[in-house]
Structure 1
Amino acid sequence: MQFHPAKCVSMAVTRSRTPLSRSYVLHGHTLESVRTAKYLGVTMSHDGTWDHHINNMANKANRVLGFLRRNLKISSTSIKEKAYKAFVRPLLEYASSVWDPYTQKSIVRLESVQRRAARFVLNRYHNKSSVSSMLLLLQLGWEPLEQRRRTQRLEVFCRIRDGLVECPVIRDKIVPAPPRGRRMHTEQFTRIKTRTLYRADSFLPRTIRDWNNLHKDEVEAVVATTGPV
């Protein structure tokens, strides 16, 4: 089998401001060091943040939305809505349980795409205020993307917990919490202690907090969606 060194790169993931400079050699070829790299459709960054991925997805979704606007000008509201849900929203939600942002800047960046889509679907361009955008979303019955990502994280968490997704590294850290009074529901899990805000808002610590804060009926709804073991 022929080896193609140009297709292989290396990327050191670290939060250090002064990372160590290292080079990696494979089959006698020194690999190019990069700051971002795409893996399974997700852009990973050297500093562990998801800003590049979010910006790339938002830009791509806006381009697709622009294409739909140019080609579906006289289509019905139903057709436009189906086109948005089929071609644009999946771009904004692919693997979102991994990169779900916690910074307001990134959250707004993604929500702005859906607000543009709402104006496209309802053909309402005369008023572009944020309040008007929210009213359009309510008229369409669309949840904010932030809420949809939260639901998706909880569903993935539930599947890992129940063994429906093989992820032993995460599942081993999902530990039932000791019984206490005055809880939202009985299926609580021990919160993961973190030293940094960055770590606190990563998938598992953040999702455990969200899970523990659910009401009993919300827990039952998530379990019903993911299915029993």
Structure 2
Amino acid sequence: MAFHPDKCNVLTITRKKKPIDHAYLLHNQVLQHVTSAKYLGVTLNSEMDFGQHINTITNKASSTIGFLRRNLNIGSIKVKTEAYQTYVRPTVEYASTVWDPHDKNDIRRLEMVQRRSARFVTNRYRNRSSVGEMLKTLNWKSLEERRREARLVMMYKMTNLVAIDNQRLVPPRRLSRNMHPKSFQTISACSDYRKWSFFPGTVRDWNSLPPDIATAGSLESFKTQLAKPSV
């Protein structure tokens, strides 16, 4: 089988200002360095910044909304909601535990997908129509809140269902009055990049859960209680 070096690239991930430039060889062919690449459906770049990925999925989701608006010209809110939840929302939520953003602009771009979808589902396109009221009527949580819940579900699985020896998750030396029994030590971070990555960010959210949710006896019970609106 012939080897095609143009099909193999190297993506070096580092946040150093002056990364080490190293040549990689495969079958005596020098591999090309790239600044971004798609891996398992997620666009990665050399600085592990997911802005490019978010740009890709929001553009794709917006195109899908346009397609549905042109081709699903019916009045049924139920059918159009199912279309949104089947064809649009999965596009902007796939693997979100990996790339969940903290940048306000990225968060806004993702929420705009759902806001445009709400107009499509309710067939209300006038500028004076309140999208906030539409979302409330449709009972749609923000995508930001849904990503938070997805991270917490992942944390529950990692700490209750999978035998992972993770040194990042360490019980606190002493439980304070506002901690639940399954709390972890907060993870320090010197940069926003680190502070808002999965473990530091999710541990903070996990520790803030009510005790009855954090200590739920099953995954289904955890999901059910987590999904309930806060009082």
Compute the TM-score of the two structures, normalised by the length of structure 2.
0.89
> C-alpha separation between the residues in 2 aligned to 1:222 and 1:73?
45
Q: Taking structure 1 as reference, are residues 63 and 167 closer, same or farther at Cα in structure 2, changes over 3 Å only?
A: farther
Residue matched to 1:194:
189
SS in 1 for 2:90: helix
2:157 paired with 1:162: no
Residue matched to 1:208:
203
Map 1:147-158; keep pairs closer than 5 Å. 147-158=145-156
Deviation readout 1:54-108 (Å, 9 max, x if unpaired):
1100000111111001001224111100000000000010000000001101000
Deviation readout 1:109-144 (Å, 9 max, x if unpaired):
000000000000000111267xx2221111100000
Residue matched to 1:67:
67
Residue matched to 1:124:
124
Residue matched to 1:96:
96
Cα offset for 1:22?
A: 2.3
* More displaced 10-residue stretch of structure 1: 143-152 or 176-185: 176-185
Question: Would you say how many aligned residue pairs link Structure 1 and Structure 2?
Answer: 222
SS in 1 for 2:54: helix
Stretches of structure 2 that go unaligned for 5 or more consecutive residues are 223-231
Residue matched to 2:140:
142
Query: Deviation above 3 Å: which 4+ runs of structure 1?
Result: 220-224
Deviation readout 1:183-216 (Å, 9 max, x if unpaired):
1422110111222121011000110011001122
Q: What is the one-letter code of the residue matched to 1:192? A: I
> C-alpha separation between the residues in 1 aligned to 2:110 and 2:58?
6
Q: Taking structure 1 as reference, are residues 29 and 222 closer, same or farther at Cα in structure 2, changes over 3 Å only?
A: farther
SS in 1 for 2:141: coil
Q: Taking structure 1 as reference, are residues 148 and 128 closer, same or farther at Cα in structure 2, changes over 3 Å only?
A: farther
Cα offset for 1:225?
A: 2.8
Residue matched to 1:113:
113
Q: Taking structure 1 as reference, are residues 45 and 104 closer, same or farther at Cα in structure 2, changes over 3 Å only?
A: same
Q: Taking structure 1 as reference, are residues 141 and 184 closer, same or farther at Cα in structure 2, changes over 3 Å only?
A: farther
Residue matched to 1:57:
57
Cα offset for 1:222?
A: 9.2
1:155–1:222 Cα contact (<8 Å) kept: no
SS in 2 for 1:69: helix
Deviation readout 1:12-46 (Å, 9 max, x if unpaired):
11112222322211111111111000000000011
Cα offset for 1:167?
A: 5.1
> C-alpha separation between the residues in 1 aligned to 2:123 and 2:146?
24
Cα RMSD (Å):
1.9
> C-alpha separation between the residues in 2 aligned to 1:52 and 1:24?
25
1:191–1:208 Cα contact (<8 Å) kept: yes
1:11–1:33 Cα contact (<8 Å) kept: yes
1:154–1:211 Cα contact (<8 Å) kept: yes
> C-alpha separation between the residues in 1 aligned to 2:67 and 2:217?
35
Compute the TM-score of the two structures, normalised by the length of structure 1.
0.90
Q: What is the one-letter code of the residue matched to 1:135? A: E
Q: What is the one-letter code of the residue matched to 1:76? A: S
Aligned residues with identical type, % of pairs: 44
2:189–2:195 Cα contact (<8 Å) kept: yes
Residue matched to 1:20:
20
Q: What is the one-letter code of the residue matched to 1:215? A: P
